[in-house]
Structure 1
Amino acid sequence: MKPTREKIKIRKIDNLPARQVTFSKRRRGFLKKAAELSVLCDCEYAVIIFSATGKLFQSSSSNTKDVIARYIEHNENVEKLELPSLKLQPDRIKLSKELADKSRILRQMNGEDLEGLNIDELQILEKDIKGGLSRLLRSKEDRTMSEILALEAKGAELLEANNQLRQRIGMFSVANGNIAGVIALESDTSTTEESLSSESGTNASNCCANSSSPDDDSGDETLCLKLGLPYCG
């Protein structure tokens, strides 16, 4: 079995040479890890170390002074942001207390957290609940009445639209009836004209036939009037 490595307790090393060696090793490892973190995570860093003898060691991803200036500016902005929050602290406490009281009253109106109330407080709570219930019923009645009126108005509009549609259908039926009557009248007229033309032709033929044959033996000449255009031979 491999021997387990004993953890070093984090405390000051009393032996001066061992302390100096540990400082040198850990300082290099610490600065190396900071540089690797900057490369891996694209972050900006600055490390400043003073040894026990007052010797300065520093490392940064860019100019150390620029990083320090950015750090100072950041702290000033944080202080400016925290100052209004300190001014609003009393208001926040007050609002938190009011919210807790309203939440407790709401739970009591729902029938919870009633153990600590006396008779007077219970009567006040009962009165508040009854008042709220009556307002709720009135609001419900008003809403129901509004919906009924809206439905009645919509029904009247539908009835009016139905009547208008009936009138249009009646007018359309009357118009179709008139057209059919006109067609029947024109048909009767044409039939009558054809009948009259036929009778005229028949009478003319009979007249010509009678004129060609003598009625008696007296020898009188009979005249036959023929209508038509003169013949040009």
Structure 2
Amino acid sequence: MAGRRERIAIRRIAVFSATGKLFQFASSSMNQIIDRYNSHSKILKKANEPSQLDLHEDSNCARLRDELAEASLWLQQMRGEELQSLNVQQLQALEKSLESGLGSVLKTKSQKIMDQISELERKRVQLIEENARLKEQASKMEMQVAADSPVVYEEGQSSESVTNTSYPRPPLDTEDSSDTSLWLGLPLYNSK
């Protein structure tokens, strides 16, 4: 069969006599077998020993672990926890750091409030302009309605009486009525 490796059986025997004399028998060279054993032992020994890379990674991990512990302690101290181990100078440095941070927070907060005030002022101006535009449109519509209906002015008549004559209000029903209407100064059309 192609691609299949056949195993060759190698027999090895090493015998030491009572006097310590070595007798050996091998179907191949005994020196080659011992050399292979020694090289294999060296490979296994190197595999079990930590390499320089492993030592470097371990030192990096230890350094990062220390940095994390230090940063965690600093964060707790910034929250006002774990302060017992600090001396007066360290507490003053922490206080200065907190004051500096608080100043930055207050400055940023003030800027955001001013931005919101500016935005609200801009919206107020837009609403005033929109209100003026709508008043102008309403005035134009009122003038157009007044121009479309003939109004007879009598001498001495006020503009309010002319408007009331031109657009009479519906009679007020003093009895219990469910029909409530709002008078806008426009002619009332009754569809009944």
- Bin for the TM-score computed over the shorter chain: 0.3 to 0.5
Query: Using CA pairs below 8 Å that are at least 6 residues apart, which structure has the higher relative contact order?
Result: 2
For normalisation by structure 2, the TM-score amounts to 0.47
The TM-score normalised by the length of structure 1 is: 0.39
The structure where helix makes up a greater share of residues is 1
